[in-house]
Chains A and B, each alone.
Chain A
Amino acid sequence: MDNSTKKSLQTAAAKIRLGILEEVFSASSGHPGGSLSIADILSYLFFKEMRIDPKNPEWADRDRFVLSKGHTAPALYAALANRGYFDVSELKGFRNAQSFLQGHPDMKHTPGVDMTTGSLGLGISAACGMALSGKISDKDYRVYAVLGDGETEEGQVWEAAMFAAHYKLDNLCIFVDFNGLQIDGPIVDVIDPTPIDKKFEAFNWNVVTIDAHNFDEIEAAVEAAKACKGKPTAIIAKSVKGKGVSFMENKVGWHGKAPNAEEYEQAVAEITASMQ
């Protein structure tokens, strides 16, 4: 990846992070930790990879995106707003009864949201349905989904994994945001879902493990997914929960808590400084 592309993706990721902070701070609720950990993945998908048109969100041939870990909607909304689906000024309405930005993604009210999600495990199955439809209709769009690592504790994830491999959905590429933390603590302490990579391999998926905050690695993994025929791809993306905000990084307490005014200012200052 050339430097100017990387620079622009880093800028987009920083804007997504600032959007996340603004949303969660304005709402005094929401999930900053797991939103910040996927900001670079969303930057790559929405600002480089996906065949999408913000002016035509219902375009039949568009690539699809499903945020299976729907509680990190702030990241998705910030990506959509900065990509031009709606005005960034809408972000401060997040979780407000007058806003179309629901606590979890709502496809009926938010342009650019391809699937309603929030209940964990359901999004990956819907992504399978979209991918299957593309296969049987000879459409060349691709389907992306982002799951949480804790989300893989849901049995339905593995029902979907079986389905995707059985129907050879090589147009499906999922990211597992492997930040190692869930609400009740480290995933290995709550109910250990590891090794997640080996599990997907055992379910006959193509598996790539990357650093979730390295654009070269994200790009290489997505290209490997596109090149892989006959198998869906799972990108196990090792991430830092709360990435970019020093006091949130790797802290389980920031899974579902909003910053106060002082913390918000510090967080914004840190992200802004990273953009220089």
Chain B
Amino acid sequence: MADKIATRQAYGDALAALGDKYKDLVVLDADLAEATKTGVFKKKFPERHFDCGIAEGNMVSVAAGLATTGKIPFASSFAMFAAGRAFEQIRNSVGYPHLNVKIGATHAGITVGEDGATHQCNEDIALMRTIPGMVIINPADGLETFAAVEAAINYKGPVYLRFGRAAVPYLYDEKTYKFEIGKGITLAEGKDVTIVATGYMVHLALEARELLKAEGIDAEVINIHTIKPLDEELIINSAKKTGAVVTAEEHNVIGGLGGAVCEVLSEKHPTPVLRVGVEDKFGKSGKVPVLLEEYGLTAANIAAKAKAAVALKK
């Protein structure tokens, strides 16, 4: 096994690996099967893969129709065109009737890189969070992606799955890893500050923990793979222990994980929270490492915000 894999690749691999076990699984794509990696499924199960062409709204409503008959459709496109262009179809054809449709959204966030702002979706988590009953999963590595896909198949109802273009390191041991929708995972315990991260930012949060350790700060790192429903208990208990929280996401700081954590803590256990994410800006073209640096999506920035959060403690 390679030590790194993009979650979109793990998504395509998971669909293909699970196709035999789940006969009702069908996959829809919108002329991006090569990029979203649903092409891996198509190769193995051509009779259960349907290209809808460049027509994302229709694709999502078609998926809804399939779901009414007992199929388990995964509708895939880039996050921008799934959550963005087809928001209303997800809201009205899928969310409102609570149909068993899975949206497999790849190329989320700025790690899209060179394609630039029109294709870098930093708004999808915020959009999806406003739909009642929508489950939002943003896995952090290949193993978690596989588990999330199978959990989504077994969950009855709409699920938005968020995947990235760039490779991320494997974080978990296959033998001990357990995935449960809505349950966050404490990757490292600490007492001074809590770093709550999701998706691409989780491995950077672990790096930030090492940077902080060198400065004598003991950080707890929590991976929130399910942004909705949020594991409030885990976050509140960690905030009670450390008294300071930093969130980290490859998404606008408005409305995503940072927003969700602030909402929970301000109502249930007021705690200083600082947010790492795209600071209400559009993306741009560039190499991924350059963009991550420019937008502050780095271990160094997480560590800096963690120190600032510690300083805010009463």
A residues in contact (CB < 8 Å) with B: 60, 64, 66, 106-108, 114-116, 118-119, 121-123, 125-134, 136-137, 155-156, 159-160, 162-163, 166-167
Given A118-B92, A134-B69, A136-B48, are A126 and B61 also a contact pair (CB < 8 Å)? Answer: yes
* In the bound complex, CA of A121 to CA of B55 (Å): 13
The smallest C-beta distance from A2 to any residue of chain B, in angstroms, reads: 35
Structural contact, B26 and A116, CB atoms closer than 8 A: no
B residues in contact (CB < 8 Å) with A: 26, 47-48, 50, 52-53, 55, 57-58, 60-71, 73, 88-89, 92-93, 96-98
Structural contact, A129 and B57, CB atoms closer than 8 A: no
Structural contact, B97 and A107, CB atoms closer than 8 A: yes
* In the bound complex, CA of A160 to CA of B73 (Å): 17
Structural contact, A126 and B53, CB atoms closer than 8 A: no
The smallest C-beta distance from A71 to any residue of chain B, in angstroms, reads: 13
Q: List 30 A-B contacts (CB under 8 A).
A: A64-B68, A106-B96, A107-B97, A114-B68, A115-B65, A115-B97, A116-B92, A116-B97, A119-B92, A122-B64, A125-B58, A125-B61, A125-B64, A125-B89, A128-B65, A129-B65, A129-B69, A130-B65, A132-B65, A133-B66, A133-B71, A136-B47, A155-B57, A156-B89, A159-B58, A160-B61, A162-B58, A163-B53, A163-B58, A163-B62
Residue in chain B with minimal CB distance to A156: B57
* In the bound complex, CA of A106 to CA of B62 (Å): 17
* In the bound complex, CA of A163 to CA of B65 (Å): 13
Structural contact, B64 and A163, CB atoms closer than 8 A: no
Q: Which residues of B contact A131 (CB under 8 A)?
A: 65
Given A108-B97, A122-B92, A130-B69, are A115 and B64 also a contact pair (CB < 8 Å)? Answer: yes
Q: Which residues of A contact B58 (CB under 8 A)?
A: 125, 128, 156, 159-160, 162-163
Which 7 A-B pairs give the minimum distances between C-beta atoms? A129-B65, A125-B61, A159-B58, A126-B65, A159-B55, A133-B69, A116-B97
Given A159-B57, A162-B55, A163-B55, are A122 and B66 also a contact pair (CB < 8 Å)? Answer: no
Q: Which residues of B contact A60 (CB under 8 A)?
A: 69-70
* In the bound complex, CA of A125 to CA of B58 (Å): 6
Residue in chain A with minimal CB distance to B63: A129
The smallest C-beta distance from A150 to any residue of chain B, in angstroms, reads: 18
Q: Considering residues A119, A125, A131, which has the most beta carbons from chain B within 10 angstroms of its beta carbon?
A: A125
Structural contact, A129 and B68, CB atoms closer than 8 A: yes
The smallest C-beta distance from A171 to any residue of chain B, in angstroms, reads: 12
Structural contact, A126 and B68, CB atoms closer than 8 A: yes
Residue in chain A with minimal CB distance to B96: A116
Structural contact, A126 and B47, CB atoms closer than 8 A: no
The smallest C-beta distance from A45 to any residue of chain B, in angstroms, reads: 18
* In the bound complex, CA of A123 to CA of B57 (Å): 11
Given A108-B97, A122-B93, A163-B62, are A137 and B69 also a contact pair (CB < 8 Å)? Answer: yes
Q: Which residues of B contact A155 (CB under 8 A)?
A: 57
Q: Which residues of A contact B68 (CB under 8 A)?
A: 64, 107, 114-115, 126, 129-130
Q: Which residues of B contact A137 (CB under 8 A)?
A: 69
Given A108-B98, A156-B58, are A125 and B65 also a contact pair (CB < 8 Å)? Answer: yes
Residue in chain A with minimal CB distance to B71: A133
* In the bound complex, CA of A89 to CA of B202 (Å): 57
Structural contact, B50 and A125, CB atoms closer than 8 A: no
* In the bound complex, CA of A131 to CA of B55 (Å): 18
* In the bound complex, CA of A64 to CA of B66 (Å): 12
The smallest C-beta distance from A129 to any residue of chain B, in angstroms, reads: 2
Given A125-B58, A128-B62, are A116 and B69 also a contact pair (CB < 8 Å)? Answer: no
Residue in chain B with minimal CB distance to A127: B65
Structural contact, B52 and A163, CB atoms closer than 8 A: yes
The smallest C-beta distance from B45 to any residue of chain A, in angstroms, reads: 11
Q: Which residues of B contact A129 (CB under 8 A)?
A: 61-69, 73
Structural contact, B97 and A130, CB atoms closer than 8 A: no
* In the bound complex, CA of A171 to CA of B93 (Å): 21
The smallest C-beta distance from B101 to any residue of chain A, in angstroms, reads: 9
The smallest C-beta distance from B63 to any residue of chain A, in angstroms, reads: 6
Q: Which residues of B contact A136 (CB under 8 A)?
A: 26, 47-48
Structural contact, B93 and A116, CB atoms closer than 8 A: yes
The smallest C-beta distance from A151 to any residue of chain B, in angstroms, reads: 13
Which of A64, A108, A121, A126 interacts with B62 by CB under 8 Å? A126
The smallest C-beta distance from A204 to any residue of chain B, in angstroms, reads: 14
Which of A118, A121, A130 interacts with B66 by CB under 8 Å? A130
Q: Which residues of A contact B57 (CB under 8 A)?
A: 121-122, 125, 155-156, 159
Q: Which residues of B contact A163 (CB under 8 A)?
A: 52-53, 55, 58, 62
Q: Which residues of A contact B96 (CB under 8 A)?
A: 106, 116
* In the bound complex, CA of A122 to CA of B64 (Å): 10
Structural contact, B52 and A132, CB atoms closer than 8 A: no
* In the bound complex, CA of A114 to CA of B64 (Å): 11
Residue in chain A with minimal CB distance to B57: A156
Q: Which residues of B contact A108 (CB under 8 A)?
A: 97-98
Residue in chain B with minimal CB distance to A113: B97
* In the bound complex, CA of A23 to CA of B217 (Å): 67
Q: Considering residues A131, A155, A156, which has the most beta carbons from chain B within 10 angstroms of its beta carbon?
A: A156
